[in-house]
Amino acid sequence: MRRFPRYGGGWFGNPADAAMAAVTVFALCSGTWLLRNGAETPAPPQPSAAQARAGQDGRAGQDGRAGQDGRARERPGVPALPPSPPDRIRIPAIRVDAPLTGLGLTRTGSLDVPPAERKNLAGWYEAGTTPGERGTAIVAGHVDNADGPAVFYRLGSLTKGRTIEVDRRDGSVAVFTVDAVEVYAAKDFPDEKVYGAAHRPELRVITCGGGYSRGSGYQGNVVVFAHLTGSR
């Protein structure tokens, strides 16, 4: 069960801005619906290699360069917004329009999850960065529940360049552009890449993905990487 990552003996950035864990193997990924319906049930879509972030293996990044660690350099974005809790997330390309609930940590240090019975509900890590302010904000939701597809069932079909809108409690809307959509096996999940501190406003949207086992459910996670490109 993955907990808050530590790097070099200390927190990677502010501990409230570092992000959560355990969506890989926690209740978010049980896959009850697939288990019950077996081969008759289509698995959720998974991202193709073309949607991966450039520069992750040392090749040129988004601006044509890569850092010494092989990670793409960040393009400058628009100015960060002041902190404000989010109320709703919309991803028009995959027909997501869902309220957001605050998520905390369990006693074991993993991220809690939205109630599984509320299939059109996503959650955000409320002790960390709010979407739109500088840093890495985290949103997570179920891919399915016992009754069928849930809020992020189609997340793996999202593509680069699509937009994500987050309604904030101060009345503003933070608009993010998707930089990459990737899938990771639980054993290879890159904590620092996904949860590490950012110098601009960024967003990660996470659900279950990868292979599926009838014994343990989904074997990994789909992660969307996005950065703030506007507001209204």
Greatest Cα pair distance, the chain, in angstroms, is: 48
Judging by beta carbons within 10 Å of its beta carbon (0-12, 13-18, 19+), is residue 193 exposed, middle or buried? middle
Question: Which pLDDT does position 219 carry in this prediction?
Answer: 84
pLDDT bracket for residue 162 (50, 70, 90): very high
pTM: 0.81
User: Taking all residues of the chain, what is their mean pLDDT, rounded to a whole number?
Assistant: 79
- The residue ranges of DSSP E strands in the chain, in sequence order, are 6-7, 10-11, 86-91, 96-103, 122-125, 135-140, 144-145, 148-149, 163-168, 173-185, 201-213, 217-231
Cα–Cα distances in Å, from 146 out to 119, 149, 182, 188? 10, 9, 25, 27
In SS3 terms, 84-149 reads as: CCEEEEEEHHHCEEEEEEEECECCCCCECCCCCCCCCCEEEECCCCCECECEEEEEECCCEECCEE
- Do residues 110 and 1 lie in contact, with contact meaning Cβ atoms separated by under 8 Å? yes
For 103-150, the pLDDT digits (tens) are 988 887 777 889 989 999 999 999 999 999 999 999 999 998 888 899
Structure tokens, 167: 């309604």
Q: How far apart are CA 27 and CA 8, in angstroms?
A: 30
For 201-229, the pLDDT digits (tens) are 999 999 988 888 777 778 889 999 999 99
**All domains of the chain in start order, with CATH:** 6-231 (2.40.260.10)
Question: Which pLDDT does position 175 carry in this prediction?
Answer: 98
Mean pLDDT is lowest, of 25-34, 111-120, 168-177, 206-215, for 25-34
For 57-115, the pLDDT digits (tens) are 433 333 333 343 434 456 666 999 999 999 999 999 999 999 999 998 888 777 788 99
